[in-house]
Amino acid sequence: MTEADVLAAVRQFSQAKMGDDETGHGFDHIQRVVGLADRLVKQYPEADRVLTVTAAYLHDVIDEKLVADTAQASQEVRYFLAQQGFTTSQIETIFLIMDNMSYHKTLDGTAKPLPLEGKIVQDADRLDAIGAIGISRAIYFGGHFGEKIYDPAVQPRTAMTHAEYRNLNNETIINHFYEKLLTLKDLMNTTAAKDLAEHRQQVMLDFLAEYKAEWNAKA
Ligand code: ADP
Ligand code: NI
């Protein structure tokens, strides 16, 4: 199998798994993360492109938010990867990335260090949480879970644990920007992603300033 054949199979597997998510983790998110990861990896020739793109396609497939039984989902992914000719050590690397890249692991300080391929996929996933796309995903997610859009009386929370992050009582969509989205720029691993994050950060800052001005009938 050529590299292109393997990636086409991985793409198809991911699409079948991600298809109908309604929390902002659908296949459109996956395709953007793959596109960004593939763009970033070109700037790091020492990174393995097939591992990077494969991890990008699969990064949400075994997420606790999306599947009821993560152990069974993991088994399925392992079996699939072996069928595509990935070695045991490559499969371990892909799982190390999937198991340790998510934001809540970082919050709890339990994440293991990521290889360069994982740093790239994590950056691509975080880039897709900010900027214009990030704004739309936060609103979509907040609407799905019944958050208020804004309440000036509710202060953003600081230094949250994973449990607090997932507790959406009293959470507002606008506060989510201060609690998480505006902090992502400085958490980027690669300088290539930091550069892209600068512009997306400004898009969010402009949105928040405009939103508050309109809220207060000042714009
Ligand atoms: P990860 O799987 O990387 O840990 P999350 O599930 O925390 O990511 O976030 C996925 C998407 O949902 C992101 O775009 C994020 O900003 C958005 N999101 C997460 N929590 C909230 C929230 N409380 N309000 C609005 N959007 C949220
Ligand atoms: Ni993701």
pLDDT in tens, 11-34: 999 999 887 767 777 899 999 999
Q: Which atom from ligand 1 is nearest to the alpha carbon of 134?
A: 14
Residue 115: half-sphere exposure toward Cβ, Cα within 13 Å: 19
pLDDT higher than threshold 90 for residue 63: no
Instruction: Classify each residue of 149-185 as buried b or exposed e, where b means 16 or more C-beta atoms within 10 Å of its C-beta.
Output: eeeeeeeebeebeeeebeeeeebbbbbbbebbbbebb
Chain centroid to CA 115: how far?
17
Closest Cα to atom 17 of ligand 1: 138
Grouping H, G, I as helix, E, B as strand and the rest as coil, residue 75 is helix
- pLDDT tens digits, one per residue of 159-193: 888 888 888 888 999 999 999 999 999 999 999 99
Whole-structure pTM value: 0.95
CATH class of 3-215: mainly alpha
φ/ψ (deg, to 5) at 172: -120, 155
Q: Which atom from ligand 1 is nearest to the alpha carbon of 175?
A: 24
The Å distance, Cα 149 to ligand 1 centre, comes to: 14
**Cβ of 178 less than 6 Å from ligand 1:** no
**Cβ of 141 less than 6 Å from ligand 1:** yes
* Other beta carbons less than 10 A from residue 120's beta carbon: 31
Q: Which atom from ligand 1 is nearest to the alpha carbon of 126?
A: 3
**Cβ of 185 less than 6 Å from ligand 1:** no
Token digits of residue 131: 């900027």
**Cβ of 125 less than 6 Å from ligand 1:** yes
Q: Where are the domains positioned within the chain?
A: 3-215
Residue 124, pLDDT score: 98
Alpha-carbon distance values, 31 to 37, 168, 196, 202 (Å): 10, 27, 17, 24
